Amino acid sequence: MDRSEELRALAQRIADALPPEAIEVVLTGSVSRGVADDVSDIEMLVVTEEHLSLEEAFELARRAGLEERDTWGDPATPTRRVFGYLDGRPVETIWWSRALAEELFARGGSAEAIANGAVLRTTGLLASWQERLADYGDALVAERVEKAAERWGGFTPAGLLTLVRPDCSLARMEWLVDSAQRVLAIAFALNRVHQPTAKRLAAGVEPLAIKPERLAKRIEEALADPDPRGALLLMTELQLDTAKLAPGGPNVDRARVWLAEGIEVLREPTRR
């Protein structure tokens, strides 16, 4: 039995031990995709008919066998998060009411998790969600591409030079990381794939048919480059190559011009 199979068996034990209040239990993350390794944990979504308090979620997790229970994230949201251990293996559970699940399943990282989820207990919700997520039409592609490109412009390209200053390391890294995430958002949208987390980036982007050359490697190079101007130049070139692959739109068209001008600015080493 490999690591994924081992952890899936533990997840099934948890699902089987949950009371009837849990109407849908979905295995997500690396275990559901069959790529778990020695540091992977078990990630699960538990859907209940009614909204639960955090205390109620803790009690159901206890009854399912989770030990050393704790929580993370913003407690003010309706999402309940319970962490614990089963047989010494870390387990993260997300608890949604049915109404909240219908509202959130297609948003952000939830869409990728659900699209690649594996059923542990079901009333048919997971199959319904996956069918709806499979409908990745042109309008959704355009919406996500335009949203990703919206920060690339609207101010002078020379503004990139403010990030070269020696006292702007954090701001520069924030820009680089945000730009990388937007590049990835466009690449996944162009391939009509719901964007996963940035973990195991090279493996995540390898199947994409439409992407800039050396996508993962160029992101790593830009983030690791010790020269501020060089790092920004590498990332801006990658942003432009990505924008050139995208369908035209107000934000994309503006971004292509702005990024090209930004590259020229960054290539002038004496400019202040």
Instruction: Note the pLDDT tens digit of each residue in 82-116.
Output: 999 999 999 999 999 999 999 999 998 899 999 99
73 within 8 A of 23, measured Cβ to Cβ: no
Q: What is the mean pLDDT of the chain?
A: 95
CA 130, CA 225: separation in Å to the nearest integer? 40
Domain 3-133 listed as CATH 3.30.1360.200 = no
269 has a pLDDT exceeding 80: no
Average pLDDT of the segment spanning 174-180: 98
pTM of the model: 0.89
Report phi then psi at 117, rounded to 5: -75, 155
- Residue 11: pLDDT band by 50, 70, 90 thresholds? very high
Work out the percent of the chain whose per-residue pLDDT is above 70. Answer: 98
215 has a pLDDT exceeding 50: yes
270 has a pLDDT exceeding 90: no
> How far apart, in Å, are the Cα atoms of 174 and each of 49, 108, 180, 251?
40, 20, 10, 21
Q: Please tell me the predicted confidence (pLDDT) of residue 268.
A: 87
Average pLDDT of the segment spanning 30-59: 95
230 has a pLDDT exceeding 60: yes
272 has a pLDDT exceeding 70: no
Average pLDDT of the segment spanning 34-45: 93
Average pLDDT of the segment spanning 157-165: 96
Residues with Cβ < 8 Å from 197, sequence gap 6 or more? 109, 112
